[in-house]
Structure 1
C-alpha cells in the first residue's frame, strides 16, 4: 500500500529491549470529497509509522516534510486509563520517498537513489535465488 502525507512531528529513534533500533514518526493525509448535498468535506487521517531498516533516515524526517510511503497498514485499539476507547492506524514502512528534498543521506543497509526532487530509500534486495 502507498500513502502520501506530511510528517506531523520530527522522527524519533527508539531502541527495543533486544537492542534493535526503530524510527517512529507520524504522517497526516488530507482527503476531500463532496457529499450528496454538494458540500466539500475535508478529512484528515493520521498514521503512526515505523521504519526498521536504518535509523539514519531519521535525520531526513522533519516535521512538515512531504513523504510517500510504501508498506502495510494495521490498527490498534485499547482502553485509556479514563475508560475511553481509543484506536490508531499504524503503518509499517518498507520504502520512504522524500518529495521536495535535495539532501542525500548516508544509508548503509539499503539503497539510496537521488533524483531531482526526491530521495528514495528502499529495503535491501534479497539474495535468494527464488
Structure 2
C-alpha cells in the first residue's frame, strides 16, 4: 500500500525497549472530490511508524511531502478511563522524500555524505 502526504510535524524517536527505537511521524493525506457540483477537499491524518532505524528522523521535517510504502496495522490500548480503544497505524517500510523540508537548513549536523538522498541511504 502506498500513501502520499505532508508531514504535520517533525519526526520523533522513542525507545521501545533497551535496544530498539522507533521513528514516529504523522502525515496529512488530502482527498479531492466533487459533491453536488462543488469541488471539496477532505484531509485524513495518518500516524506512521518506521522501525528500520532512527537515523532518518532528522530528515523528516514539518511541511515535507513524502511517499510511503507499507501496510496498516490495528493497535489496541486501554484509555485512562479504562475503556478499550483501537486505532490504525501505517507501518512504513519505505520512505521517498518528494520535497525538501520547509526549514532553512534541512541537512542535519554531522551528515558528511554528499549527494546521497536520505531515502536512498535509509531504505
Instruction: Give the TM-score range, shorter chain.
Output: 0.7 to 0.9
- The answer to whether the aligner puts 1:64 opposite 2:60 as a matched pair is no
- The answer to whether the aligner puts 1:99 opposite 2:116 as a matched pair is no
Q: Which structure has more RCO (C-alpha within 8 Å, separation ≥ 6)?
A: 2
Q: Where does the alignment leave 5 or more consecutive residues of structure 2 unmatched?
A: none
| Residues 26 and 84 of structure 1, relative CA distance in 2, 3 Å threshold | same
Tell me the SS of whatever aligns to 1:3.
strand
Give the structure-2-normalised TM-score.
0.74
Tell me the SS of whatever aligns to 1:57.
helix
- The separation in 2 between residues aligned to 1:121 and 1:46, in whole angstroms, is 27
Tell me the SS of whatever aligns to 2:17.
coil
Q: Where does the alignment leave 5 or more consecutive residues of structure 1 unmatched?
A: 107-112, 124-130
Structure 1 position 87, deviation (Å)? 5.5
Q: Is the 8 A contact 2:55 2:122 kept in 1?
A: no
Give the structure-1-normalised TM-score.
0.70
How large is the Cα RMSD of the aligned pairs?
A: 2.9
- The separation in 1 between residues aligned to 2:12 and 2:55, in whole angstroms, is 11
**Superposed CA offset, 1:88-112 (max 9, x none):** 4311000001112397786xxxxxx
Q: Which has the higher helix share?
A: 2
Partner of 1:53: 52
Tell me the SS of whatever aligns to 1:16.
strand
